[in-house]
Amino acid sequence: MTDAARPDAEDDHHWLDDDHPREECGVFGIFGHPDAATITALGLHALQHRGQEAAGIVSFDGRRFHSERRLGLVGDNFSKASVIEQLPGSVAIGHTRYSTTGETILRNVQPLFAELAGGGFAVCHNGNLTNGLTLRRQLIAEGAIYQATSDTEVILHLVARSKRNRFIDRFIDALGQIEGAYAFVGMTNKKLVGARDPLGIRPLVLGRLDGHPIFASETCALDIIGAKFEREVDPGEVIVIDEHGELESLRPFAPRTPRPCLFEYVYFARPDSIAGGRNVYEVRKRIGATLAQESPVEADVVVPVPDSGVPAAIGFAQDSAIPYELGIIRNHYVGRTFIQPTQSIRELGVRLKHSANRAVIEGKRLVLVDDSIVRGTTSRKIVKMMREAGATEVHFRIASPPIRFPDFYGIDMPEQDKLLAAKMSLEDMRAYLGVESLAFITIDGLYRALGETGRNNAAPQFTDHYFTGDYPTPITDLVSEGAKQLSLLAEAS
């Protein structure tokens, strides 16, 4: 049996990662501040949880654009004065990346930059364009020359080819041609621009530091620099900061009922961020409490899978009156590539990142709480670790519904046939994980934890397709690729 066929197979790239959806990306931009690049680097540091593969900053000093794009962590690349000195100017935008489309190579690291007819334009993007490949093929057929494999480059070509006169009109013209989820931050030699997709799937907020406007993916990026949160960029809104620092709000698209991404609350956003007017930490505690009400269990101790399972485990423990303990200790200093992932080392993988706290676990009935299960590979190993540490029973409680469908909006979830809940029944998953009981929060329970009465099936309040299969926008690339495959099959037959 090949690795690809084994249910517990893990590719080399993620052999040491938690069994969670991979992060999205983080964007940041500031206008008019004398230390724009330094502020941007600090903002990206706060957004590091959204992507750890690469980071980049572009600044403008009034005459020239300056760019530094590096593979690796923000702190490893932008903490040195020698790097920041290469980024002079009072306007800067930055990006921290986890690749959902395109390879992890330097030419894909954002912000991307191009010289257009009206001057330079730099842009960075959180999300994924569901017609990006289709547009890319069309543009290349018409003579466009691509430098990167990221879908973000589409926006540069669309802006460059627009026949509108003003830059902002060309930018809006480009937005009108794309589908999917996006939060864009862009800059020209005169303007800073922020834009959010019409459904508000990807987050973007507006803040100010000493009067200077800022765009960021999350409010935690404002907190780290002492900036004031002003408001969220509304779904479908384009905000333009002109050369005088004046703000103009444009709403070029027909209004739609917002559907922000549920996974921001379940996993992606930092717990200290505010999203949709809700404190993420408090939401996650309520999710845990709701989970305890829906799926109670007799146990001695509640143990979180760190770090993302911690708030939900606290909520579960408080609601069920079962003691909360740190039964798993996480090592935060293990990198992906500190050692070659040979088979013998691969088998140690989960222990390099998580260690059992035997004093808490031995002889106890555990409630193990995690935010989600994707492939189930790491979850299975953690359960085994609990058994070996002396747990008499392990009851698994998951603070999201079963993930049965892939994502096309900027979350790196595997194909459907690699999703555990898409392949197995609840009982089969329980047996595969090796636990006494397994329960997920219901979709209505998740909505209630967010302050709703439940899911409005006629008009869902959030983007939740990974649980329900209800995709909020067309998936043009998937449809066109399917049609292409059918055409090839027909030709071969």
pLDDT in tens, 418-467: 999 999 999 999 999 999 999 999 999 999 999 999 999 999 999 999 99
Q: Which of 203, 209, 243 minimizes the C-alpha distance to 30?
A: 209
292 and 206 within one domain: no
- Give the confidence band of 492 by pLDDT, cuts at 50, 70, 90: very low
- Give the confidence band of 307 by pLDDT, cuts at 50, 70, 90: confident
CATH of the domain at 55: 3.60.20.10
Q: Which two tokens stand for residue 26?
A: 């983080």
Residues 6+ apart with CB under 8 A from 75: 45, 48
In order of 155, 164, 209, 311, 440, the CA distances from 59 in angstroms are 19, 26, 17, 38, 46
175 and 324 within one domain: no
- Phi/psi zone of residue 290: left (φ > 0), alpha (ψ -120 to 50 degrees), beta? alpha
236 and 369 within one domain: no
SS3 321: coil
Per-residue pLDDT of 172-224, as tens digits, reads 999 999 999 999 999 999 999 999 999 999 999 999 999 999 999 999 999 99
Per-residue pLDDT of 50-66, as tens digits, reads 998 899 999 999 999 99
Residue 25 a catalytic site member: yes
- Answer yes or no: is 276 within a domain: no
- Answer yes or no: is 488 within a domain: no
Q: Please determine, for residue 242, whether its predicted confidence score (pLDDT) is greater than 70.
A: yes
- Answer yes or no: is 490 within a domain: no
The alpha-carbon radius of gyration of the chain (Å, integer) is 23
- Whether omega before 111 lies within 30 degrees of 0, making that bond cis, reads yes
50 and 160 within one domain: yes
SS3 463: strand
159 and 62 within one domain: yes
Q: With the CA atoms of 337, 343, 349 and 355 taken in that order, what torsion angle do they form, in degrees rounded to the nearest 10?
A: -140
Q: In this structure, are residues 162 and 187 in contact, taking their beta carbons and an 8 Å threshold?
A: no
Q: In this structure, are residues 263 and 450 in contact, taking their beta carbons and an 8 Å threshold?
A: no
The one-character DSSP state at 412 is: B
**Bridge partners, 437 (sequence order):** 395
354 and 245 within one domain: no
Angle at 443 between CA 407 and CA 292, to 5 degrees: 125
Q: Which two tokens stand for residue 209?
A: 């530091």
Q: What is the DSSP string of 346-358?
A: HTTHHHHHEEE-H
383 and 325 within one domain: yes
In order of 171, 240, 358, 400, the CA distances from 165 in angstroms are 11, 16, 68, 47
Q: Which of 363, 361, 356 minimizes the C-alpha distance to 385?
A: 356
Residue type, 130: T
SS3 94: strand
Per-residue pLDDT of 331-352, as tens digits, reads 776 554 444 445 555 555 556 6
Domain span at 33: 26-260
- Answer yes or no: is 267 within a domain: no
311 and 172 within one domain: no
Q: What's the rounded Cα separation, in Å, for the pair 434 and 396?
A: 10
- Answer yes or no: is 478 within a domain: no
Higher confidence at residue 62 or residue 20? 62
148 and 42 within one domain: yes
In order of 60, 214, 447, the CA distances from 280 in angstroms are 34, 21, 14
The count of domains in the chain is 2
SS3 128: strand
Q: In this structure, are residues 181 and 202 in contact, taking their beta carbons and an 8 Å threshold?
A: yes
448 and 395 within one domain: yes
- Answer yes or no: is 250 within a domain: yes
Q: What's the rounded Cα separation, in Å, for the pair 44 and 304?
A: 28
Q: In this structure, are residues 28 and 93 in contact, taking their beta carbons and an 8 Å threshold?
A: yes
Q: With the CA atoms of 282, 351, 24 and 459 taken in that order, what torsion angle do they form, in degrees rounded to the nearest 10?
A: -50
428 and 378 within one domain: yes
Q: What is the pLDDT of residue 150?
A: 83
- Answer yes or no: is 225 within a domain: yes
Residues 6+ apart with CB under 8 A from 224: 42, 43, 45, 46
370 and 250 within one domain: no
Q: Which of 25, 124, 220, 261 is catalytic?
A: 25
Residues 6+ apart with CB under 8 A from 15: 336, 341, 346, 349
Q: What's the rounded Cα separation, in Å, for the pair 160 and 170?
A: 8
CATH of the domain at 289: 3.40.50.2020
* Predicted TM-score of the model (pTM): 0.90
